[in-house]
Amino acid sequence: MKTVKKKLSGILAFVLLATMILPVAAFGAGGFNNDGTIGTNVNGSVYADVYYNEGVSISVYAPDGTFLGVTKAMYDSVTGGTYKYRYSTATGATYNWVNLLAYFGATDAVYKAVYKPSNNVFFGGGFASNNEINATNGTISASQVKDAVENGKVVKIADKLAIPADALAEAAKKAGAKLVISGDNGSIELPLSVLKLEELAKQLGVDLKDLKINISITKLSGAEATAVTDAAKTVGAAALSDAVDFAIVAEGKDGKKVAIDSFGSTYVKRTIKTNKAATKTATVALYNPASKALSFVPSVVADTYADFKRTGNSVYVVVENAASFNDVAGHWAKSDIELLASKLVVDGTGAGKFEADRAITRAEFAALAVKALGLNVASVVSNTYFSDVATSDWSAGYVAAAKTAGLVDGYEDGTFQGDKEITREELSALVVRALKFAGVDTSLTAAQQSAALAKFSDSDEIVWGEKEVAAAIHLGIVNGKTDTTLETASDATRAESATMLKRLLTKAGFIK
């Protein structure tokens, strides 16, 4: 049995990784023939889902839509590239042999959709399973909202959904309440705590019962889609997906609306499809219509789907790039530098150069940290937080965003001194704060702190950031300058910054 399971898991993993194409669906009375078309030996509709490393599950429905149960399939043989299974019900009835052809592309009768392993979200339509709520008409009732939240059901939409705010408020009373919404263009796991419903109702001057929350996951088209493709070309990248706009808007009974563009410090998980398999350098990017520019979004792209998370809403697209710099050949940080450049986290200095060994300033690294976390760059009007940061400075928005997120501090005289080179001590502290913002536990016991610093002979030269430096070492973000020295007072280089950011992003699960 272990051999059978292992063989099945390996085959399914290969199929999933090759295609990420899931359900095979048949409608009406009948089963599957050996070529994947509808046969005559099953009474009811069959909806087959191939689960990564878990075998094949079948949900069976009667012709009237009644859910009859779920069963597991068992691997039998592989012949000529055909994956063969026998389907059995819980009561012992056995269906015909079913051949799932490689790539699931045998006939038009094979229904295609993308499977999302981490939260069982599917893209595409089909016969709804008992773990889904059909809201493709754009509306959902209070009882359905409660059912979705309490039982972890996926709400299937076309591209838009209007939700009664009072129903969301009631459902939000459950600890950790979230609503999972999935459509043809993408999916979102929405923690209800980020909506601030009472505040929105007050802002629009209505009672909660007269407020609705409109959620849309729409694909851009025409000139809007072209603008995103052009933005990718500007940075030397190619778009691997449609541009998808994730939007949440609160609407009162009089039609007044408020867009919800920020979730504070909460990272909200989303997924979009890609048009073709991606490489390691691919990333989800945010498109800014005002600047017509793309920026990095924390994301993991695997073959034909992309998981990503951000603290706000916007237009997103998967892009692929292969950045390189002629002055990092043979450099110890080459792979980290070029990976992050390809993902739009770090930039070169022009003319194909990166200048890896040049010192980096406080403002420059604050900007990199903000990019790495996918934060909104603040629209600075008057408050820049620091007396020496002017609203016209290139770094003003980045510094304000970093300050708001608790990543940076100024000096006692109220200055930031952004043009000053950042020390390895300051860099360690900023990276640890960024990790904490990303949800990584950075706390250490006294014993752990002592152990982290013990091997370095100059650890007593750390001025103020002993806890942060120790945490950075403990978490594998910072190494010594040598095997026995930290040199925390020395200026950090662009190469060191890129390497620490890469480790930060990997530790936080923001890249793979």
Contact 298, 308 (CB under 8 A): yes
- 247 within 8 A of 258, measured Cβ to Cβ: no
Summarize pLDDT for 109-131 with one digit per residue, the tens: 222 222 233 333 333 223 334 58
**CA distances in angstroms from 404 to 254, 309, 435, listed in the order given:** 34, 19, 15
Question: CATH no. for residue 155?
Answer: 2.60.220
Based on the domain organization, do 305 and 403 belong to the same domain?
no
Displacement of CA 357 from its chain's centroid (Å) = 32
Model confidence over 441-490: pLDDT tens digits?
Answer: 999 999 999 999 999 999 999 999 999 999 999 999 999 999 999 999 99
Which residue type sits at 62? A
> Is 54 among the domain residues?
yes
Task: Kindly state whether residue 127 falls inside one of the protein's structural domains.
Answer: no
Does a structural domain hold residue 119? no
Which is more confident, 158 or 46?
158
Helix (H) or strand (E) holding 172: none
Summarised one tens digit per residue, pLDDT across range 189-242 is 999 999 999 999 999 999 999 999 999 999 999 999 999 999 999 999 999 999
Please check whether residues 358 and 315 belong to one and the same domain: no
DSSP 460: G
Q: Do 360 and 402 sit in the same domain of this protein?
A: yes
Distance CA 120, CA 224 (A): 31
Q: How far apart are CA 202 and CA 209, in angstroms?
A: 12
CB 157 within 8 A of CB 181: yes
CA distance 512 to 509: 7
Residue 379: the pLDDT is: 66
Q: Which two tokens stand for residue 38?
A: 């509808």
- Residue-level pLDDT at 376: 86
**pLDDT value of residue 381:** 60
Q: What is the mean pLDDT of residues 280-299?
A: 95
- Which long-range contacts does 255-260 make (Cβ < 8 Å, 24+ apart)? 256/204, 256/205, 257/204, 257/214, 258/200, 258/203, 258/204, 259/313, 260/194, 260/195, 260/200, 260/313
Last residue of a domain, which of 80, 112, 144? 112
Q: How far apart are the first and last CA of the chain?
A: 33
Q: What is the mean pLDDT of residues 11-24?
A: 32
Domain count, the chain: 3
pLDDT at residue 71 tops 90: no
Between 262 and 51, residue with greater pLDDT: 262
* Residues 6+ away with beta carbon under 8 Å from 93: none
CA distance 243 to 318: 8
Crossing angle, helix 424-437 and helix 466-474, to 10 degrees? Answer: 70
| CA–CA gap between residue 322 and residue 343 (Å, rounded) | 9
Nearest of 151, 286, 294, 152 to residue 234 by alpha carbon: 294
DSSP for 241-270 reads S--EEEEEEEE-TTS-EEE--B-TTPPEEE
Residue 268 lies in a domain: yes
Asked whether residue 30 falls in the same domain as residue 94, the answer is yes
- Do the domain assignments include residue 155? yes
Residue 439 belongs to what domain range? 334-507
Tell me if 194 sits within 8 A of 246, measured CB to CB.
no
- Global confidence as pTM: 0.75
At 427, the amino acid letter reads L
